[in-house]
Chain A
């Protein structure tokens, strides 16, 4: 077998293993769905009346782009905990003593978690439709929005994997995998428009990848009001391009770092 074929075969084996694990823990899927449904309902009904959307759009339409991004970003906490768990149980010692591809364990983990993110995204989309969210663009663009969410989720899952391989225990991974996501998602245009933030915060939020992706997804869904003027920052003027670039940069950094961490990982 060639190296590439071996690598794909190993990744397939590990992905299957992780999907089987997921299937045997249906409660984790159920809670993942409940959590994403809950976020949509809370934000739509609690913040819906308080936040004015620049350009005069509907807040539910504004919200959906952001909350999709937030939810798929938070999936990386799952990856983080799962990596730390496998490491602490000595499973990586077994894998690393096998003549298998060095990247397959991480690729198999992130592919399985991407499937999980797909399930929660579908639950969220249905909830959104129930509370009045509608897309206003072509089917191709809507598919493009979900493809961009998948790319973004995948890039973030690798960040989760790196954190999971860097912390010293599963308990630490539970906090470390999650805590940085709160400032990151809230200091963005995911839930509130950039225009309402203090001026010193605006450039930070504008260059936050969460903002680019949220804006890009809104644009592709056709959820941006017709007379909306995007703030004068390059990533928000060109959100789709900026999002793709962000994802590629993150992958270019975190994939090699993750594989190198895995190679040196020692069980404790």
Chain B
């Protein structure tokens, strides 16, 4: 049995329009010492899965064990084996960084002295020594996330849950947090990580479970998932008013569905034959007088995997994301990003 295992998890939430099946039969198996990335868009069921495994929520059906302990029959036992770092940086803003960590240590029933020693170690590991004795409301978003993650590690748990650890962070803080997570994995910690960022799953996870609408729709290593989608991708950006022409050309050359982004005038087609396909395409575009602004052949990304499996993209396009944010006027989406 793996460090984390789940069978047929179902969770139904009541909503205004009936019921929402947040989880609809999720199976997971995470071998000890490995990193599983749960990849999926907002609302796919990633956070619900983590909340069930971390004993914050009871499933409506199915069973799960963490560190060999059943989450339903011995939740306190599970809690002794896990560290959770959630979507919010769950730190007390009026306490200092050190006080936050000592408090968590005391709640794991370390002695005052041991809690103090452990807090100091973590402050050093997470580069928070200079800010250790300042209230955390003066911290940047990246510092809060680091402190929150440090809080999850106080008791050196063998299993860590990271729920969207880098959502809303600037690129530099994000890279810093990746380093920290890789360090943990090097020490043999089992990690279950949720993310909506493909590059994050690609970089950190040994294996990936793609989640959509409460179900795991694909699983495997990043390479296996990419192989599942098959060959390479030809991506081309064309001149104004030429998208339709370019599409005709690519429909002929592609061995699958052509994905078209009208707004960016960008087309992506699965092709066989790499460089030869690129040459064919350039020639064909030339014959049709299509201006090529940018063209290239690349290996499939996880976004291609997602598109192939679900018919929609995993990540919202930046423009689409900002519209969505304005539409929901600060709810949900913005919550993660302004921390």
Per-position contact with A for B57-90: 1 when CB-CB < 8 Å, else 0? 1000000000000000000100110111011111
Closest residue to A10 on the B side, CB-wise? B107
A46 within 8 A of B: no
Query: Within 8 Å of chain A (Cβ to Cβ): is B151?
Result: yes
Least CB distance from B218 to A in Å reads 29
Q: How many residues of A contact B (CB 8 A)?
A: 24
Contact between chains at B88 and A100 (CB < 8 Å)? no
Q: Do A20 and B95 have beta carbons less than 8 Å apart?
A: yes
B contact residues around A20 at 8 Å (CB): 94-95, 99
- Tell me the bound Cα distance from A225 to B298 in angstroms: 93
Contact at B90–A99, with CB atoms within 8 Å?
no
CA distance A9 to B107 in the complex (A): 8
Tell me if A99 and B94 are in contact (CB < 8 A). no
In-complex Cβ contact of A91 among B80, B82, B92 (8 A): B92
Decide yes or no: A21 and B151 within 8 Å by CB, A1-B109, A9-B109, A13-B107 being known contacts.
Answer: no
Q: Name the B residues within 8 Å of A98 (CB-CB).
A: 79, 104, 107-108
Interface size on B, residues (CB 8 A): 31
- Tell me which residues across on chain B come within 8 A of A95, comparing CB atoms: 107
A104 to B309, CA, bound (A): 46
Is A93 on the interface with B (CB-CB < 8 A)? yes
B79-119 Cβ-contact flags toward A at 8 Å (1 or 0):
11011101111111111000100011011110000000000
B290 interface residue (CB < 8 Å to A): no
Q: How far is the CA of A85 from the CA of B57 in the complex (A)?
A: 20
**Known: A9-B106, A17-B103, A100-B107. Contact between A94 and B95, CB under 8 A?**
no
> Which residue from chain B places its CB closest to the CB of A5 in the assembled complex?
B109
CB neighbours of B55 from chain A (8 A): 96-97
- Contact A94 to B104, CB < 8 A, known contacts A6-B109, A17-B92, A17-B95: yes
Task: Compute how far the CA of A267 lies from the CA of B89 in the bound complex, rounded to whole angstroms.
Answer: 12
Q: Are B108 and A93 in contact (CB-based, < 8 A)?
A: no
**Contact across chains for A90 and B90 when beta carbons are under 8 A apart:** yes
Contact yes or no, A267 B107, CB < 8 A: no
A167–B57 CA distance with the chains assembled, in angstroms: 19
Q: Mind listing 25 A-B residue pairs with CB under 8 Å?
A: A9-B109, A10-B106, A17-B99, A17-B103, A20-B94, A20-B95, A89-B90, A89-B93, A90-B86, A90-B88, A90-B89, A90-B90, A93-B51, A94-B90, A94-B148, A95-B107, A97-B54, A97-B82, A97-B83, A98-B79, A98-B107, A99-B76, A99-B80, A99-B109, A266-B57
Could you list 12 further interchain pairs (A-B, Cβ under 8 angstroms) beyond the known A90-B87, A91-B92?
Answer: A6-B109, A9-B109, A17-B103, A21-B92, A21-B94, A24-B94, A89-B90, A90-B90, A93-B51, A97-B54, A98-B104, A266-B51
Q: Which B residues are within 8 Å of any A CB, using their own CB?
A: 51, 54-57, 76, 79-80, 82-84, 86-95, 99, 103-104, 106-109, 135, 148, 151
Q: Which 8 A-B pairs have the closest CB atoms?
A: A90-B88, A94-B90, A97-B84, A99-B79, A90-B90, A21-B94, A13-B106, A100-B107
